[in-house]
Structures are given as C-alpha cells and as structure tokens.
Structure 1
Amino acid sequence: MGGMARTGNRSGRGAGAKDGVTPARRPEVRLPPLVEYDGEGLEPDGDYDGVRFEGTDLAEASGPGARFMDCELRGCALDRAELVRARFIDSVLTGVRGVGTDLAGASLRDVEVLDARLGGVQLHGAVLERVLVRGGKIDYLNLRKARLKDVVFEGCVLSEPDFGEAQLVRVEFRDCVLKRADFSSVRMESVDLRTVAELDIARGVERLAGAVISPSQLMELAPAFAAQIGVRVEA
C-alpha cells in the first residue's frame, strides 16, 4: 500500500481489558543508590551496574554488547554512539539526545525513556519488553524486524517511524503523534491506537489486523481501506 492515511483523535483514554483490549504491562523501575560515572566513553562489552550517567558526553562512544543494569542516563549526548547488541535492564533514560545512535539488535527490558530528543535511532532487530517511551520527539526511528512486547508510547512525537516486519504484542500508543508511520508487513496483537492524537500512516494500512482503533479513526481511514481492496467510492 503506497498511499497515505491520516487521522486524528483526541478522545478519552481506552478502558483497557474490560473493553476487549489487553493492556500493556508497564515497567516498574526502582533504582537503587547509584554511583556517579567518572570515566570517558564506553567499553565494548562493558558491564555497568548501578551507575548514573549525568550529562555525560557519549557521542561517538563505542560500547557494542555493553550491559546497563539499574542505571540512569540523564541528559546524555548519544550522537552516533555505537551500542549494537547492548542490553538495558531496569534502567531509566531521561532527556537523552542525539542523532544516529546505533542500537541495532539491542535488548531493552523494564526500561523508561523519558523526554528523549533523538533522530535516526537504529533499533532494527531489537527486542523491547516492558518499555515506556514518554514525552519527547524521535525522528526516523528504525524498528524494522524488532519485537515489541508490553511497550507504551505516551505523549511523544514519532516522525516517520519504521515498523516494517516488526512484531507488536500489547503495544499502546497513548496521546502521541505518529507521522508517516510505516507498518509494512508488521504483525500486530492487542495494539491500541485509539487515543493517538494524530495517526498518519504512509504504508501498511492493510496490516492493522490485531489493532484497535476508534470509530472516528475508522471513518477517516475508510478511503485507505477501500483503496486497499480495490473499491472505488464515488458520489
């Protein structure tokens, strides 16, 4: 499907399981007392446990395979940081910023990403489980062939996100903006789109099976659905 479907909805939040939608399980991150990071850059396969990175410049840092457990990254620069196959567990990333951060094949479990300002983040082939992305703006997010389970996008702006061939299970988009989203060949199960403030689908509208949308979104998506099955609508 090469056309574009755009719809907006500012209705109240969905009620969750009682109306047939299985809600995502949100992360419950409780950080222990942390040790301030006083090093420079990152180490490949580095092991960071209970560390706070406060305003650390990690631009172009090379830490493929690094593990971050019970960590906080606050106000860090992540431009072109190489974090391929990195693992983030029980961690919080607040106000991180950067362009071209490479997290291909990374694993995020019980992670909160708050007020991030990122562009061109590579998360293709990544695994996200119990992840909350709240606030901020992420441009050109690459989640191709990623696996998302119990993930919530809340109050954030996702500009041209690529979910191509990804698997989404119990994923909620809450009061956020999706601009020119690519859902090509995506697989969805219990995906809640009802409270998306702006739903703009560039590709893959035919792959919304397994998603829940609002009545107003259905009306606005109707022309795209009709075009997908070859129905002409004329007065």
Structure 2
Amino acid sequence: MRTTTVGDLRILLPDLDPDDLDTISDPTGDLSDAIIEDASWRGAAFDDIGIRGSRLTGADLSESTWEAGVIFGCEITRTDFSGTTLSGMSIERCAVTGSRLTGTRFTDVRLKDVLFEGCRFDYATLTRVAAAGAVAFVDCVLTDATWSSCRLPDTVLRSCQLARLELDSCHLQGADLRGNSLHDLKTGLGNLRGVTLHEDQLPDLTQLAVQDLNLTVRKR
C-alpha cells in the first residue's frame, strides 16, 4: 500500500506495476489495468465509464464530457482536462500531477484519497464537490476559480495560488490552509469556519473580515 502525507493528512495512492498494464488507445468501454500515453480524445463524451488501475500520461481530454462513472486507483500525469465537464463522477485513490484543468467544470463529484499536485485549476468551477476521504492540493494554481456549495472538510491546500478564488456556501471545517496567501481571496468569513491557519496569515484574514463586515477603519 503506497501512501503520502501532506500536512497532517495521510493519503492512499495508487500502487501500479507497469508490467501488469496493457497499452490502450481506444477509450470505448471500461479501461482497467491500462497504460494510455499521448492519446487525443479531445471533445469525447464518456457516459458511465470506469477507469481503474491505469496510468494516463500526456493525454488530451480537453473539452470532453464525463457523465457519471468512476476513476479509481489511477496515476494521471501531464494530461489536459481544460474545458472539460465532469458530472456525477467518483474519483478515488488517484494521483493527478502536472495536469491542466483550466476552466474545467466539476458538478456533484465525489473525491476520496486524491492528490492534485502541480495542477492548474484557474477559472475552474467546482459545484457540490464533496470529499469522502483525504484530499490535497499541492503547488496548484486556483486563481479565478469558483467553489460553490462544496463540502471539503479536512482538505489540505499547500503552496497554492488562491488569488480571486471565490468560495460560496462551502463547508471547509478542519481544512488546512497553511502555506498559502489569502490575499485577494473572494469569500465571506463563514466559508472559513473551522479552518487551520498559520499566524502569518492573520493580516490577510483581518483584511477579509474588514471586507466581509463592510467595516470602516480609520487611523484616528
């Protein structure tokens, strides 16, 4: 069993043996124990597809549509999901590294034991995304993204770019936001209830409070 630790969070990761994987180029049907390299499935439609125990590298899945289905036990590297729509999906025990999710739309997606590292989520929209287990974002770009009605308790964000990230009606109780700048975060204080911060982030939190409460601050 392969694991990694981010902050205080322990994440189960896929443990793939390349000798057990077969090279696949056709996205039709469930994909299990497969190696998918440099495939171009731009604009493809996936309905209730299952991808299990597979490794995706350098694939172009931009502008594709995913309805229901599951991605389980996969390593996804340098893959382009920009402009993609994922709805009703379950993503579990996956490591997503160096991938592009610019403008990607997640709706009713369930995450469990998922590590996003070095990924771009700028302008992405997460709506009713829920964490059923460990989830971490490390060195990710989340600028100008929107999280709405998401339930991501205990999620860890580390060394991420959060400028103009908008939080709306989100539940982040127990989330660890240490190691990120909160400057220009677009959120009311209620979305940050119960999160963990470092003392160096308190000036940014104070500025958020001034904005949220519409305070007038004067020197004298």
TM-score scaled by length of structure 1: 0.83
Equivalents in 1 of 2:142, 2:208: separation in Å?
A: 21
1:206–1:232 CA distance, 2 compared to 1 (3 A): farther
1:213–1:159 CA distance, 2 compared to 1 (3 A): same
Equivalents in 2 of 1:225, 1:170: separation in Å?
A: 22
Whether 1:186 and 2:170 are equivalent positions in the alignment is yes
1:178–1:230 CA distance, 2 compared to 1 (3 A): closer
2:213 partner amino acid: I
Whether 1:37 and 2:16 are equivalent positions in the alignment is no
Alignment deviations for residues 99-155 of structure 1 (CA, whole Å, 9 cap, x no partner) = 211112211000111001222111121001110000132222221111023111001
Question: Does the residue aligned with 1:180 lie in a helix, a strand or coil?
Answer: coil
Contact kept, 8 Å, 1:179 with 1:198, in 2: the verdict is yes
1:177 partner amino acid: Q
Equivalents in 2 of 1:59, 1:218: separation in Å?
A: 43
2:119 partner amino acid: G
**One of 123, 141, 157 as aligned partner of 1:140:** 123
Any gaps of 5 or more consecutive residues in structure 2?
A: 1-5
**One of 200, 216, 221 as aligned partner of 2:205:** 221
Whether 1:78 and 2:48 are equivalent positions in the alignment is no
Structure of higher RCO (CA pairs closer than 8 Å, 6+ residues apart): 1
Contact kept, 8 Å, 1:67 with 1:86, in 2: the verdict is yes
Question: Does the residue aligned with 2:164 lie in a helix, a strand or coil?
Answer: strand
In the TM superposition, 1:29-178 aligns within 5 A as 29-32=14-17, 33-39=20-26, 42-43=27-28, 46-148=29-131, 149-178=133-162
Alpha-carbon offset, residue 199 of structure 1: 4.8
Alpha-carbon offset, residue 97 of structure 1: 1.1
Alpha-carbon offset, residue 66 of structure 1: 0.3
Alpha-carbon offset, residue 177 of structure 1: 1.0
Match of residue 11 from structure 1: none
Identity fraction in percent: 24
Equivalents in 2 of 1:62, 1:228: separation in Å?
A: 41
1:221 partner amino acid: L
Any gaps of 5 or more consecutive residues in structure 1?
A: 1-14, 17-22
Equivalents in 1 of 2:211, 2:60: separation in Å?
A: 44
Question: Does the residue aligned with 1:143 lie in a helix, a strand or coil?
Answer: strand
Match of residue 7 from structure 1: none
Question: Does the residue aligned with 1:226 lie in a helix, a strand or coil?
Answer: helix
1:198–1:97 CA distance, 2 compared to 1 (3 A): farther
